[in-house]
Amino acid sequence: MLLRKHLLKAKIAGEVATPREGNLAHYRRMVDKDPAYQFGLALKDWTFTETLAMMARLCGVNPDPRHRHGQDTIDPELTLDALNAMGARIGRAAERQETVLLATGHPGTLMGVYRAVEDALRANGCTVLTPAAGWSYRIVTPNGAARREIVYTSRVAALGTNGYLKHTHDPQPMQAILHELADGAGWPDLVVADHGWAGAAGEAGIDTVGFADSNDPALFAGHAEGKIAVTVPLDDGVFPEYYEPLTTYLLDRAGLSA
């Protein structure tokens, strides 16, 4: 399959750039209930052994606990299977003209994927929500305290500051969005997201499909626990244009066009 070859060549799957030692460290932090590695999900107690086995099964990382350094892997077949499932769910949303919310913690690389999904859904009569624009909160960065606010690129939510979009794992922005929506109308039928945006939506009981890297175990654990409908394994940090064939494939599986 052409997309499988592209995933491997672009290192979206296969031997990915995410280092093994980083993956294992993140798995341990999820196991230890570090809030930064729960992504807004109230997960059951996971052991490290269970987490590594789960990540091997759902993401395709190396299952050998003795492999502690170097490259890790994402199984391209698992990526394709999850893209098929995500595409089917997005296609159903279009058929039913559902209310949808889109959000990304990786705007620098994945925004193009979300924007294409947004355009296709809106063209098919879906309502795409934009709640809580301007809501802000304080975070601590290596350079000190800073504020982040919810901003929208068209109708895709992200975090921003001073005109720049920012990476985030935090669930608080999605929690703020859902708090606002709970006070009015327009509760989403579907959320398409990643990181804490997806985790918080799944924890709230919303049908959620999302993307996750091999160092993001919480969304895979959420899928294993039935809180995340689909988690697509991929490297979320390659050049934005490398995701274009993936986006075309996803929309094709949804029965939509870019």
> For residue 114, what is the domain's CATH number?
3.40.50.10490
Sign of CA dihedral 16, 18, 20, 23: negative
SS3 of the chain: helix, strand, coil, percent, to 5? 45, 20, 35
Alpha-carbon span 176 to 133, nearest angstrom:
10
SS3 212: strand
The three-state (H, E, C) secondary structure of 81-147, written as one string = HHHHHHHHHHHHHHHHCCEEEEECCCHHHHHHHHHHHHHHHHHCCCEECCCCCCCEEEEEECCEEEE
If one counts the domains in the chain, the total is: 1
Residue whose pair of structure tokens reads 């039935």 in the numeric block: 226
How far, in whole angstroms, is CA 50 from its chain's centroid? 22
Q: The pTM is what?
A: 0.96
pLDDT in tens, the chain (258 residues): 899 999 999 999 999 999 999 999 999 999 999 999 999 999 999 999 999 999 999 999 999 999 999 999 999 999 999 999 999 999 999 999 999 999 999 999 999 999 999 999 999 999 999 999 999 999 988 888 889 999 999 999 999 999 999 999 999 999 999 999 998 768 999 999 999 999 999 999 999 999 999 999 999 999 999 999 999 999 999 999 999 999 999 999 999 976
Alpha-carbon span 229 to 19, nearest angstrom:
27
- 47: phi then psi, degrees, rounded to nearest 5: -85, 165
Q: Which of 77, 20, 78 is nearest to 52 (CA)?
A: 20
Q: Which of 136, 194, 130 is nearest to 162 (CA)?
A: 136
Alpha-carbon span 32 to 56, nearest angstrom:
19
Contact 88, 230 (CB under 8 A): no
SS3 150: strand
Length in residues, the chain = 258
Calculate the dihedral angle through the C-alpha atoms of 38, 40, 45, 48, rounding to the nearest 10 degrees. -20
Structural domain that includes position 70: 1-258
